[in-house]
Structure 1
Amino acid sequence: MRKVINLSNDRTTKMELLKRKSRRKNLIKELNFMNLTEEPFLDIEDNDLFCKKVFSVLNTKKNKIQLQGDNYKENIQKSIQLLNEIIDNIELTPKKGNLLFFRENEIEAVLINVHEVFSNLDKVLELTRFSVGYGDFILVAEDFNFGLCIERTEYFYEFSVWGLS
């Protein structure tokens, strides 16, 4: 009986892995307006560890800007306005960064050209689901040398930026 249970668990694990790989392929298709020349994903375990580290790093950041409107739509609008102002004032754009995509079952960190993120910001905000209030906007370097992040909280949005000038 034990082997049957283990086989069943193995099969379930493999199915979940295949489903996630399929969701990743679909995400790449959605990003067809960007030039993704190298493998944009970490392996699944490394991806999950990286995402946990992102939130750990964000928890240590001070001097976050609080953005608060009358409702979440106004919070989004104010966030996008500030994001555009910050982007317009960056003198040296980093080459690559990880952009986080929030999905129903997981968060995917996608290695992406930062200039292309900035050039296609409206599409990116739509794909990250930030523009509809579902996901945060988080763009960070693999080594956390820079970050441009907008986190949603219950009553306001928190904007943090570091390592960009």
Structure 2
Amino acid sequence: MELLKRKSRRKNLIKELNFMNLQEEPFLEIEDNDLFCKKVFSFLNTKKNKIQLHGDDYKENIQKSIQLLNETIDNIEVTPEKGRLLFFRENEIEAVSINVNEVFINLDKVLDLTKFSMGYGDFILVAEDFHFGLCTERTEYFYEFCVWGL
């Protein structure tokens, strides 16, 4: 029953991403997806070059993060073709295979859909092999920004 519910939530996520051109099957198998997400967070814990973003409240942290994301995107010389964007949902995190350029073009919509702009989820876009990444993670008192390979 839980498997069917998750498949239904995945279909709904695809419908929400109708403004992007997704490949036929943008999801990993459920067990592989969960393992990939665990690897992402383990990998991010090893990164030392994180920038701490401090604001007066979470809303200011979000705005500073979005500004830094936009500045970083504007300075990328060669955009990778594919990556996995993490979508935080109530019961799980989905790592969706997505065209990186489309993420950048539709960043405002993506930030709303990932719920990052509302302070709910992190913004995490990584290559499947971790060759590149662009991430803003929430912590208790500030946000951490990390970029590599771009």
Per the normalisation by structure 1, the TM-score is 0.90
The correspondence for 1:118, drawn from 90, 104, 111, is 104
> Which residue in the other structure is 2:82 paired with?
96
Which residue does the alignment assign to 1:21? 7
Pair 1:153 & 2:150 matched: no
2:137 match: secondary structure: strand
CA contact under 8 A between 2:23 and 2:98: conserved in structure 1? no
- 1:127-146 aligned at under 5 Å gives the runs 127-146=113-132
Task: Tell me the equivalent position of 2:91.
Answer: 105
- In structure 2, the gaps of 5 or more residues are none
Task: Give, in angstroms, the shift of residue 37 of structure 1.
Answer: 2.4
Aligned residue number for residue 64 of structure 2: 78
Give the Cα–Cα distance (whole angstroms) in 2 for the partners of residues 129 and 68 of structure 1.
Answer: 20
Q: Which has the larger radius of gyration?
A: 1
Paired-residue identity, %? 88
SS of the residue 1:139 aligns to? strand
Higher helix share: 1
Superposed CA RMSD in Å reads 0.4
* Runs of 4+ with >3 A deviation: none
Asked whether the equivalents of residues 133 and 148 of structure 2 are also in contact (C-alpha less than 8 Å), the reply is yes
Give the structure-2-normalised TM-score. 0.99
Mark the runs of 5 or more structure 1 residues left unpaired by the alignment: 1-14
Q: 1:95-147: per-residue Cα shift (whole Å, max 9, x none)?
A: 00000000000000000000000000000000000000000000000000000
